[in-house]
Structure formats: structure tokens, C-alpha cells
Chain A
């Protein structure tokens, strides 16, 4: 119909081909680079035939349970032998949560979503409200029994955070609970970190060294220290992650 229209019509098709190449080429190049780097790194490991260092592994396998008192060796390592690394991990999480809250606050809060009827159903309210406490209990179990069964502070903390998010989702219909208020969550996280720092310093004063077990000289099983650290880390991680999620749900200003 319009001559101008017909003359411009083939143009997008012509542009399409170089555009696709310009998109595909970097992807292929980066894939080749990544594969090359992987081969370059892994090939010497496979080909050289150097013996793997086994001294530490054997020591942990034979003596770890005795020395730490924790049946779950993963817990024994990350709270007993390598507790200093765990402190670093919690600081990383603290920085991540602070950064997220700072970004949300800097952007002027979360944009208020319109309350469309389709998204909020009775089903979600009832199911999340009833499921929340059960998930909380399970999270506490994973947290407190991390020295015996799979789990621990970080895993239990994340499960606790899911439970708090469930409660926050379920209680939006009207009922409120104090555990989903951002102020309380921030307080729990700060207290958890304070207790963690105190627990790390106590060993210095009793002669066990930084992050040393202060109970070792009193004749109490060292597993008590691991349980306490698990509980503190679990509370801190759970409060931090749920604070992030509750702030994103748009409840921060209330």
C-alpha cells in the first residue's frame, strides 16, 4: 500500500542477521574461554598423578568425633576446627543483608503493589499461616541438632527464615505477629552477632585462644560450645534473611 512502508520493510530482516551474530559470537567465545580454563586447571590434577594429601583427612576421620564430641563431622569442622572461617561467613551474610536493606531504603522503599484479588487468596493465607509455625519448629530442630544430624546454624537459620516469611505472608490478612516485625528481626540479628563475637572472645580470656573452646578446662564436653554456636548462628542467619525478605515484601514501613 504505502510505498514508504514497503521500502522499509526488508530492513529489519537485514539487520536481524548481524544482530544475531553479535549476540551469539561473544557467548561462543566466552564458552570456549571457560572450557579452556577448566581443562587447563583440571588436566594437571588428573594427569600428574600426585598423591592427594591425606594426613588431615585421616586425622579427622579417626579422631574428629572424639576430639569435638559432635557426631556430625561437618559441624565439628566448621564450628570446632575452622570456627574462624565461620565468623567470616557470617560477616559476609551481615554485609549482604545490610547492603540489601540499604539499597531498599535508598530507593525510597519497596513500591507498593496493588492488592489485586487474583494474587491474594484465602488458600495462601490459611496454608502459609498454618504451615509457618511447623516450619519454624523444624528449623529450630535442624539448628539445635546440627551436631548430631545433618544441618546446623546456617541450614536451620534459612529454614527458620522460610517459616518467618510464611508467617509474614499468612498474617497480611489482618493478624500480626511480633516475630515478623522488621525492628524485632533486626534486634535479633544484632544480638546474635554480638553473642557470636563474645563467644569468640571468651576463649582468649580463659587461655584457650581466639575461638578456642572455653569449656575445655572445666571438664564439660566440647560439644556444648558447638551447640551454643549453632544456636547463635542460626538465630542470626534466620533473622537476617527473613529481615531481607520481609523488607522486600513491603512491610518495612509499618
Chain B
């Protein structure tokens, strides 16, 4: 189970790095945060899991989405 989550995390992170659409990358990153929160919960660290879910999936996604809305959705490089 833990190995499966770790493998999925790596795949999702690579996808977020490679995606040209920044909004897709942001949503994938928030999924990564949710999955790592699940991983931390499975590893008996519920405190860190709450922080990861609230910061990673909540606040940072809001900040990223508003930055994308204020600038450009396509990756320029």
C-alpha cells in the first residue's frame, strides 16, 4: 500500500512537472498533497497529515490558482 502510494506520487509529480497547462499542474499537485496526507496518516503521523492536507491541498492551491489567473495559464518555456 505504502509503496503503491509512493510510486503514484512520483508519477503524479513527473506529470505536474511536464504538463504545459499550469492549471492542470496545480490540480495534480493538490492531488499529490492529498495522497501524501494519506501516506502520513498511514505512517501514524496524523498531525502532519492534517497540516499537509490543509496547506498543500487547500491554501497553496488557492494561491497558485490566483497567481495563474493574474498571469498566464500556459507554460511559456
Instruction: Tell whether A and B belong to one assembly.
Output: yes
| Main SS class of interface, A | helix
The reply to whether A159 and B54 form a contact with Cβ atoms under 8 Å apart is: yes
Chain A residues, Cβ within 8 Å of B67: 248
Chain B contact residue count (CB 8 A cutoff): 15
User: Which residue of the partner chain, among A72, A113, A151, A241, contacts B59 with CB atoms under 8 Å?
Assistant: A241
B window 21-64: CB within 8 A of A: 46-47, 49-51, 54-55, 58-59, 62-63
- Our pick among A72, A113, A154, A155 for the contact of B70 (Cβ within 8 Å) is A113
> Which of A72, A119, A142, A159 has the most B CB atoms < 10 Å from its CB?
A159
Q: A249 and B51: CB pair below 8 A?
A: no
Minimum CB–CB distance for B54 against chain A, Å = 4
Closest A residue, CB atoms, query B66: A248
A154/B59 in contact, CB under 8 A = no
Query: Does the CB pair B62–A158 fall under 8 Å?
Result: no
Contact of A150 among B47, B55, B58 (CB under 8 A): B47
B58 touches A162 (CB 8 A): yes
Do B55 and A158 have beta carbons less than 8 Å apart? yes
Q: Are A165 and B51 in contact (CB under 8 A)?
A: no
Pairwise interchain contact B63-A151, C-beta atoms closer than 8 A: no
| A249-B70 in contact given A151-B47, A155-B50, A158-B54 (Cβ < 8 Å) | no
In the complex where A162-B59, A245-B59 touch, is A150 in contact with B66 (Cβ < 8 A)?
A: no
Q: Is there contact, CB below 8 Å, between A152 and B47? A: yes
Q: B59 near A165 (CB under 8 angstroms)?
A: yes
Within 8 A of B (CB), among A89-122: 110-111, 113, 119
Identify B51's interface contact among A110, A119, A155, A248, CB under 8 A: A155
Assess the B50–A142 pair: CB atoms within 8 A: yes
Q: Is the interface of B mostly helix, strand, loop or mixed?
A: helix
Q: Count A interface residues, CB 8 Å.
A: 22
Q: Does A70 contact B (CB under 8 A)?
A: no
Distance to closest chain A CB from B48 (angstroms):
9
The reply to whether B54 and A162 form a contact with Cβ atoms under 8 Å apart is yes
- Which chain B positions have C-beta within 8 A of A161? 59
Whether A154 pairs with B62 at a CB distance below 8 angstroms is no
In the bound complex, what is the Cα–Cα distance between A161 and B59 (angstroms)? 8
A158 and B47: CB pair below 8 A? no
Given A151-B47, A152-B47, the answer on whether A249 and B58 have CB atoms closer than 8 Å is no
Contacting residues, chain A, for B55 (C-beta < 8 A): 158
For A74, give its contact among B47, B54, B59, B62 (CB under 8 Å). B47
| 3 nearest A-B pairs in the assembled complex, by CB-CB distance | A150-B46, A158-B54, A155-B50
List, sorted by A's number, 12 A–B pairs whose CB atoms are closer than 8 Å: A74-B47, A113-B69, A142-B50, A150-B46, A150-B49, A150-B50, A154-B51, A155-B50, A158-B59, A165-B58, A241-B59, A249-B66
Chain B residues within 8 Å of A, Cβ to Cβ: 46-47, 49-51, 54-55, 58-59, 62-63, 66-67, 69-70
Other A-B pairs, 10, CB within 8 Å; known A158-B58, A248-B63: A111-B70, A150-B46, A158-B51, A159-B50, A159-B54, A162-B54, A165-B59, A165-B62, A241-B59, A244-B63
